[in-house]
Chain A
Amino acid sequence: MVMQNKKRLIEKLTGVHSSKRSYYVALKKKINELLEIKRDWEVTFSAVTDLLVFINQDYEIQRVNQAAVDFLTMREDEIIGAKCYQLFYGREKKCNPCIGDQVLQSQKTSYLQSRTRYNRVLDIFVYPAFTEMQEPYGVTYYAKDVTSFVDSIKLVSMGEMSAGVAHELNSPLTAIVGNSQLLLRETNPKDPQYQLIKDIHSSGLRCQKIIKNLLTFSRQDEFTFDDVNINEVIDSALALVTYQIEKSKITLTVNKTAGIPILSGSASSLEQIIVNLLLNAKDAVESMLCDQVNGARGEIKLATRIHPDGKLVIVDITDNGSGIEEEHIPQIFNPFYTTKKSGKGTGLGLSVSLGIAQAHGGFIDLETKAGSGSTFSLILPLYKNNQDDDDYNK
């Protein structure tokens, strides 16, 4: 008994039954933990029906969820490591501009609607990803396939139908507006019918406005491209709206960069974009001024600049108006989306503007903070070398 006991004690002391703790065991445990975490996330991500794609700084796709695999109709191992512009746009070279580059540079989330391969339209949110050392190492794309919505409303029916309908409506409307105008002149304002006729007249004007927009919309791909000096385009846009803006007691500051190269495009369409953006800014500022009793001074700034890489011209239109709630940002470019009183907004301004910008190989960027203002930036390529260098829009 004593012998046994002693033997046991000594074996324990000399460590017959114990070994140096091995990292292999610890490692195996850790690996299993990590695999579990990985599996949990994979299950989570594959349950998400929108596309999730992580892309490194060399534009190589690193991770995709099931929705992205389905969207691309390829095997996952064919996707991983491939270039994003190749798979999503069928390009040989990176997009110009590349929203991933921009997001990494600005370190801010960005949004873009873009037509990708197979004629799919994606609402894309792009988030920068940083290491613990705050060094950028890639971007995460969260994308919603909105093709059916955009196609059915915006491109197919809108494009084909609206032109016809608009023309059909135009002549009866001319009669309505013209004749009601005549009647107004001949009616005594005190006459009970005067107000009724006035309503007919203003409703007719509103219809004409909508139709004008619809016509632009359907003509998107029929622009004739000329040499355009963007500063001249701005001057003629300002000639149209400066009065309205200043009447509303809003300070308008214009800061044009001299020497911007000529670009190729449709001056009248581009002018329409600027006018739209300026009027939106005015509306946004006015809605703020109404809200505030001791109204702060409204301000709109317009500036042109050339992107540091020299390939883009940017027109920034900044206001200190209402700004846009984050959850509404994806919608504002949709046709007929408006937050304005009925009679005031048509909800077509931005969607038409974006359509024009895209037809020029450009796009409209947006930075906004609800309650403090927005900057809409019209971004246009200066040189159009070949089709592949276009914007995301094909």
Chain B
Amino acid sequence: MYISKFVTPEIIFGTGSLNQVGECCSRLGSSRVFLVADRGIVNCGWADKAVIFLDKAKLDYQIWSEFSANPRDYEVEEGLSLYRNSNCDAVLAIGGGSAVDAAKAVATLSTNKGRIHNYEGIDMITEPLPPLIVVPSTAGSGSEVSQFAIISDSDRKIKMTIISKSLVPDIAVSDPIILSTISGNVTAHTGMEALSHAIEAYLSLASTDMTDIHALHAIKLISENLRSSVASQVDETAKIAMAKASLHAGIAFSNAVLGLGQAMTHQVGGLLDLPIGTISAVLLPYVMRYNLIACVDKYAEIAAAMGAQIRHLSKREAAEKAIGLVQELAKDVGIPSGLAELGLPESSIPELSRNTKNDACFITNPRDADEKDIINIFRAALEMPGGGS
């Protein structure tokens, strides 16, 4: 039994809750807000909407959108000079994982000296961050509640994981309405990202009763609502459920951390400029297969949460069902079934495997693995489409 800890930000949830952002910022003492919103969000008009509420709270603001889908170190530094030059004193992020990660990095550098590279790893941040308020625009990354930020190192071509309690936002504002402007494709891979988070957090060595409740609930909500959410941008019930699922998954993985799947995903993500959700969804069944013997009981619970009738099955049969259900869901929402489809060169596997072992997320994986094991999982995912069961 480990000593554990459970942290969440203040969470504001509800349809229309975007109207809270102005009050939130001013309550936290801000007078000039750095509004981080990716271009998609700006184009959909959500940034303008947020500005209305900032105006209402009599707050000045500076908008920043100049970062890529996988934010890079130098972009974050440009963001920082804009933050400084415009005399901002709080950060408000509206967007998917990339906007939130970029916002967290700017907030970090605004009070912590040097480059973002200095803070890679666990608990490297020493100075408190300015108030950080996050409004997720996708139901997936969970970064609105998490203590993680991922930034690309443009020289080393890898993704840096920054883990710190200081990265947990002060307030997460989740407004399901915002999910309605997200395309089906993005809804699909972000939803699968949330599912990977929930499953790996549930299986994690650091999982606790508190994280398990959130993880299982997220798995249930996703398997019941992701299909309909992908199918229609206006299915309000599905959007609300997915917004909740993202929060629950985020709370679970921020506290229980993840596993091998996420560690491998980070490596592939450093190489291919693809959505994290797509990569982790492709890898998930193969990693689940590898981890199965570590926690058959929990797999059975996953199957049950995903709606399988397991009463008449053996634990092992039920566990196998969980993998099948994940694959089925991924297939239904249009996720490719193997790494070959994503264009991963076979030759990169040894190096990716080596780096995987150094990823922080690997520590909490339920089954030990050496480099060869990881190579085998990568190979399986590359060569055998549908290779899970």
Contact = CB atoms under 8 A, between A and B. Distances in A.
Contacts of B127: 21, 26
B367 interface: no
A15 B2 contact: no
A21 B205 contact: no
Interface string B119-149: 0001101111100000000000000000100
A10 interface: yes
A18 B3 CA distance: 13
A131 interface: no
A15 B123 CA distance: 8
A21 B122 CA distance: 14
A190 interface: no
> Interface size for chain B: under 10, 10 to 19, 20 to 34, or 35 or more residues?
20 to 34
A231 B5 CA distance: 89
Given A16-B4, A19-B165, A21-B166, A10 B128 contact: no
B5 A10 contact: no
Contact of A15 (B5, B126, B364): B5
A105 B178 CA distance: 55
Contacts of B3: 11, 16
Interface string B184-216: 000000000000000000000110000000000
Nearest to A18: B123
Interface string B202-236: 00011000000000000000000000000000000
B179 interface: no
B122 A13 contact: yes
Interface residues of A, number: 18
Nearest to A23: B128
A328 interface: no
A14 B125 CA distance: 15
B256 interface: yes
B363 A20 contact: no
Contacts of A14: 2, 4-5, 206, 255-257
A340 interface: no
A12 interface: yes
B376 interface: no
B162 interface: no
Contacts of B147: 15
Residue of A10, A11, A23, A25 with most partner-chain B CB within 10 A: A10
B365 to A, nearest CB: 11
A7 B2 contact: yes
B206 A10 contact: yes
Contacts of B363: 6, 9-10, 13
Interface in A15-72: 15-16, 18-23, 25-26
21 contacts: A6-B363, A7-B2, A10-B364, A12-B122, A13-B122, A13-B163, A13-B206, A13-B257, A13-B360, A13-B364, A14-B206, A15-B5, A15-B123, A15-B165, A16-B3, A16-B5, A18-B164, A21-B127, A21-B129, A21-B165, A26-B127
Given A15-B147, A25-B128, 8 more contacts: A10-B206, A10-B257, A11-B3, A13-B363, A13-B364, A14-B257, A15-B164, A21-B127
Interface of A: 6-7, 9-16, 18-23, 25-26
Interface of B: 2-5, 7, 122-123, 125-129, 147, 163-166, 168, 205-206, 255-257, 360, 363-364
Across the A-B interface, give the 3 residue pairs with the lowest CB-CB distance, nearest first.
A21-B128, A20-B165, A18-B123
